[in-house]
Amino acid sequence: MDNTYDFARKSDRIMEIKKHGYLFIKRLFDCIFGIIGFILLIPITIIVKISYILTGDFAPIVYRQIRIGKDGKEFKLYKYRTMVPNADKKLKELLDSSLELTKEWKKNQKLEHDPRITKVGKVLRKLSIDETPQFINLLNGNMSLVGPRPLVKGELDSHNGNHKLYESVKPGITGWWACNGRSDLDYDERLNLEYYYCNNASLKLDILCILKTIQAVFFRKGAK
């Protein structure tokens, strides 16, 4: 009986050491990629700003939004703006004017043909450039390179999601959903893919996810 108990304790200790080792390596990579990404942000931001100015749009190009992170903590997520400056107000007007659009939004948290997206924004989304300011979130430590996408407050509840599981790991710039179909999938399929990562997070899965993301970005699969 004692031998069985000791073996169980040793196994738990080994698992705990492996977990801490994985999290240390993951954070190290986040910092390295965060620094590289932050440096690249300088020329990319200049190009994006000039592109917007050329279309007559002089509003700020960095969009900040409150998202839910690990353990349900709120944080500011950074993105390049891909919509008109008053996008939230415009969305309310669109949903108030159309029951069909309201149903589509409640189901997928997005509109297939969203009139709020700018010409520059369409290019940024197609090339997945709009997410690059999140390298700032990597350095801040409230996001990781790989993890489930951070959601807005109430989004998970509206789809009967599992908070405990979804918020058990840091949200990521890319993730198992992002590299396996992304916008081509409905919301339930999305959640199942995110849950899979939360249950199976490992260095091997992270590396596979990064490789699949590079492939998805190269072929622009699922980007809308």
Are 199 and 100 in contact by the 8 Å Cβ rule? The answer is: no
* 108 within a domain of the structure (yes/no): no
* 95 within a domain of the structure (yes/no): no
pLDDT in tens, 120-133: 999 999 888 999 99
* 48 within a domain of the structure (yes/no): yes
* 89 within a domain of the structure (yes/no): no
Strand (E) positions, 115-219? 144-146, 172-174
Most confident of 39-43, 90-94, 95-99: 39-43
Q: What is the mean pLDDT of residues 3-7?
A: 58
Residue range(s) defining the domain that contains residue 24: 2-82+117-218
pLDDT of residue 47: 97
* 91 within a domain of the structure (yes/no): no
* 199 within a domain of the structure (yes/no): yes
Residues near 76 by Cβ (< 8 Å), separated by ≥ 6?
64, 65, 66, 67
CA-CA distance, 103 to 15, in Å (whole number)? Answer: 45
* 68 within a domain of the structure (yes/no): yes
pLDDT in tens, 23-69: 999 999 999 999 999 999 999 999 999 999 999 999 999 989 999 99
Measured CA to CA in angstroms, residue 50 lies from 35, 43, 56, 83, 130 at distances of 24, 11, 10, 16, 15
CA-CA distance, 109 to 77, in Å (whole number)? Answer: 17
* 214 within a domain of the structure (yes/no): yes
Are 82 and 121 in contact by the 8 Å Cβ rule? The answer is: yes
Number of domains in the chain: 1
Are 176 and 204 in contact by the 8 Å Cβ rule? The answer is: no
